[in-house]
Structure 1
């Protein structure tokens, strides 16, 4: 009993230290941003734990993913019903703008989940964890290619965070290898890389729509582009995300079987996953708007340590020291990225204002 209490205390302590570290890194941000970021990381952890538990006895990921996106769409509809008169002041968007900006998000958002789940089947969690560490770097590179400015300090922070994520992945592979030998095939690696690519595309396009001025430059001032609100962005993509997820579920899953195998325990757990998935989607886009693409992806990697801490404290599992060390390196990288953004803001403010004619 004493050992169990000690494990519970250790899990709570590790979780608390991570949240305190996030608060310290974002200490110069508004309190609302700090709270949203902590809730975003917490929702990542809760969603991962719930989905892991659900998938152990309910094998219908396509149907569950479709239901998650339906809940997101319903939430958007409820929001606009209650606040439509105040928030409905948005610019008219052309079909060309929709195809160029919203359609890539609507396709890549569900496909990220689809490709990752498929990669897990072919290559195992260890390989997917390693390739998933490419996400912060790929997001940083892609955002830079389309115009977002990053300071040298931020680039260094992204590199440090990537090294920390690789350490975390190494710890995961070690723990997985002790239990089983997952098959690593070229097909699984390709699906895992596709998941990273679609995730990066989704994040960068959403970041551009939420904060277009961050992509402005002398060559491309973007004066005519106004930022979208997170709710506007999700409302436009939600129905198409549902359609994409539904088409995938029809091709790979069976809705009649999903209903036939739906037990009371599965229904309760699915309802919890819907709540956590909706919270994760909206908190993720709000954090993306406030912190930017690179910081959001880096902080999102901390969910591995928190999931591990909860597993150790309450499920009697083990977490290697490699994972602990990697999480500390990820936090250091996030801190450096935040310092780089502060330096970039100071440099921007120090520039002379354009002369008025």
Structure 2
């Protein structure tokens, strides 16, 4: 049986202890001694960069936490102040720098157009700025809900997550590395549970703690992806030769204006003007802490870039994680955050997982003969950073599209439900898009007769198939009858007989119809197509359907020039534009008296051909002359839905992650 002393000790470890300050300081000193030993191959300057980077990270986290605790509870404003000072510092550094040529602005080429430079900036720099803004704002905001130590421990996963981002873009992960990843994730789960238990014991709402954790994890994702994109801009990648290699100060100077603007707008949206007014009434200690926090943020922005350029994205994140144990120890000693046994076990598990992962990376690099520089394992950069930007862009745009589609679908469902109610009450909406008149069923049919019973293609023996026909009008006369109706402009031409169309006639196009005889003749007769396009030629060829012997198919590639007035709702004066329609499948169905009872037109067979964006019939003519109708169906053959575009982009992202048939084929194809 455990004695009371042993039970008390176990309970103390479970609930957490507050470390003495001298223990925390001694532990901090030993960590920096370890940094000097681990990075001695990079020389004194390399050790200084890593050490000061760790100190700056700790300084930002601890001083920001103290500012928030002192009553200035505006994390987004603090982040925007950091951004502003980084921008000003970058501007000063670049103004004083002799490395920047006078004839160009940082990475922007003077001989390129403003549009090209803007496109380069939006593709290369703006994603970094957005991710940096999210990283700082989310990380700072999380400190309002969880402790600085807990926040730092969440960040242990950053090196593993950074490597996972690279893995989704094609990097190979060994089995041992996956063991490390799973171990690290398990440790993070332990830490998360322990953090929630600690918060529950303190009486704080768990919902706020979960929110704080989610903010910390969001910052973690943004930080990992940002590091990979920064690495692309400063180091050479075989698949990204066109990108100019930027110096760390140049990258900071390019990104910081956008970061500040985003942060300032976010501050106004979330916190308003109150925090900026509150700056005027800060007490001396809080103002000093805020100044120190800002100074650390400035240093961190520049030295973080230097560290990424020196070590690469993943290795820089590994070096950065050395601050975590120090932050935890100092938080316990100076901010009175309890350090429990669960935190220690979880942190050790995550660090073990990270160590296993790094060991696997080094082994894999040595096995594949990758480059080593200054004693540090630095894989020759072969990642396709263009693919990185593309994959991340596909994922983010898919999220935007899905969210928009949900809103649009909800509004559509509400509006269509309201339309249905009105239609029922008012008996309206007859023969409109959602309440079409039923079209005629098939009246005649022949059973197929094949040239060969063993034919794989099912080649029809047309003559034998047609020989079964019960329709009284032979094919030759039926084709001649179809041509007569076309020549009479469906009975609307002067002196022609409208009796060529049956009384139960229906006009059926891809979008319009079915229209009855009277409605169709009024509409078509008003267009005056021959007056508007005197040289209009259908360029048609005709064939009776062997399986439906009362149907004449005619395939057309209409051409002409708009030299007269076209009537469509309003007169459209001559534009002298050429009309080139795509190939269209059209048909007439006849009754036993030789009257057309169904006309189908405008079914495009190849949208690439012509100048109508795949539209047929009158819609295509209007599009060709520059007067396309003001709805999607009148602009082009196919306008993809938001949902389709979202799934298309999700598929592209899945391919980048090694999933799907295209990715499988790529892996199986010979090198």
TM-score (norm 2): 0.45
Is the CA contact 2:196–2:206 (under 8 Å) kept in the aligned structure 1? no
Instruction: Name the stretch that deviates more: 140-149 or 240-249.
Output: 140-149
In structure 2, the partner of 1:244 is 262
Q: How far apart are residue 33 of structure 1 and its match?
A: 2.4
Per-residue CA deviation, residues 152-184 of structure 1 (Å, 9 max, x unaligned), is 666655555555555554554444333233332
Root-mean-square deviation over aligned CA pairs: 3.5
CA 1:224–1:147: 2 relative to 1, 3 Å: farther
In structure 1, the partner of 2:78 is 64
Distance 1:350 1:202 in 2: 24
Is the CA contact 2:107–2:250 (under 8 Å) kept in the aligned structure 1? no
Q: How far apart are residue 68 of structure 1 and its match?
A: 0.8
Q: How far apart are residue 107 of structure 1 and its match?
A: 1.5
Is the CA contact 2:24–2:330 (under 8 Å) kept in the aligned structure 1? yes
Q: How far apart are residue 72 of structure 1 and its match?
A: 0.8
Distance 2:59 2:30 in 1: 18
Is the CA contact 1:119–1:191 (under 8 Å) kept in the aligned structure 2? yes
**Are 1:286 and 2:306 an aligned pair?**
yes
**Are 1:10 and 2:23 an aligned pair?**
yes
CA 1:132–1:208: 2 relative to 1, 3 Å: same
Instruction: Name the stretch that deviates more: 93-102 or 305-314.
Output: 305-314
Aligned length: 338
In structure 1, the partner of 2:253 is 235
In structure 2, the partner of 1:297 is 317
**Are 1:199 and 2:223 an aligned pair?**
yes
Is the CA contact 1:301–1:330 (under 8 Å) kept in the aligned structure 2? no
Instruction: Show structure 1 runs of 5+ residues with no match.
Output: 1-5, 352-357
**Are 1:208 and 2:232 an aligned pair?**
yes
CA 1:128–1:329: 2 relative to 1, 3 Å: closer
In structure 1, the partner of 2:202 is 179
CA 1:49–1:118: 2 relative to 1, 3 Å: closer
Is the CA contact 2:182–2:353 (under 8 Å) kept in the aligned structure 1? yes
In structure 2, the partner of 1:355 is none
In structure 2, the partner of 1:319 is 339
Per-residue CA deviation, residues 269-319 of structure 1 (Å, 9 max, x unaligned), is 211111111122222222222233333334434434212322344455532
In structure 1, the partner of 2:124 is 101
Q: Which has the higher contact order (CA 8 A, sep 6+)?
A: 1
Distance 2:38 2:331 in 1: 26
CA 1:147–1:36: 2 relative to 1, 3 Å: farther
Instruction: Name the stretch that deviates more: 30-39 or 170-179.
Output: 170-179
Answer 1 or 2: which has greater helix percent.
1
Aligned ranges for residues 122-137 of structure 1 at < 5 Å?
A: 124=146, 134-137=157-160
Is the CA contact 2:128–2:230 (under 8 Å) kept in the aligned structure 1? yes
Three-state SS of the structure 1 residue aligned to 2:207 is coil
CA 1:158–1:13: 2 relative to 1, 3 Å: farther
Is the CA contact 2:150–2:328 (under 8 Å) kept in the aligned structure 1? no
**Are 1:55 and 2:29 an aligned pair?**
no
Q: How far apart are residue 246 of structure 1 and its match?
A: 0.6
Q: How far apart are residue 99 of structure 1 and its match?
A: 0.8
Distance 1:12 1:323 in 2: 19
Q: How far apart are residue 9 of structure 1 and its match?
A: 3.0
CA 1:191–1:7: 2 relative to 1, 3 Å: closer
Is the CA contact 1:302–1:327 (under 8 Å) kept in the aligned structure 2? no
TM-score (norm 1): 0.78
Q: How far apart are residue 231 of structure 1 and its match?
A: 0.9
CA 1:268–1:82: 2 relative to 1, 3 Å: same
CA 1:139–1:22: 2 relative to 1, 3 Å: same
Aligned ranges for residues 323-334 of structure 1 at < 5 Å?
A: 323-333=343-353
Aligned ranges for residues 165-176 of structure 1 at < 5 Å?
A: 165-176=188-199
Three-state SS of the structure 2 residue aligned to 1:184 is helix
Distance 1:169 1:92 in 2: 44
Distance 1:316 1:91 in 2: 46
Aligned ranges for residues 17-56 of structure 1 at < 5 Å?
A: 17-56=30-69
Distance 2:120 2:170 in 1: 18
Query: Which of the pair has more CA radius of gyration?
Result: 2
In structure 2, the partner of 1:268 is 288
Is the CA contact 1:161–1:298 (under 8 Å) kept in the aligned structure 2? no
**Are 1:80 and 2:103 an aligned pair?**
no
Per-residue CA deviation, residues 122-181 of structure 1 (Å, 9 max, x unaligned), is x75699778655543332222223355666666655555555555554554444333233
Is the CA contact 1:154–1:340 (under 8 Å) kept in the aligned structure 2? yes
Distance 2:253 2:289 in 1: 26
Is the CA contact 1:71–1:274 (under 8 Å) kept in the aligned structure 2? yes
Is the CA contact 2:94–2:100 (under 8 Å) kept in the aligned structure 1? yes
CA 1:13–1:327: 2 relative to 1, 3 Å: farther
Is the CA contact 1:167–1:323 (under 8 Å) kept in the aligned structure 2? yes
Per-residue CA deviation, residues 177-235 of structure 1 (Å, 9 max, x unaligned), is 3323333278667655543333233222112212242xx4xxxx434444321111111
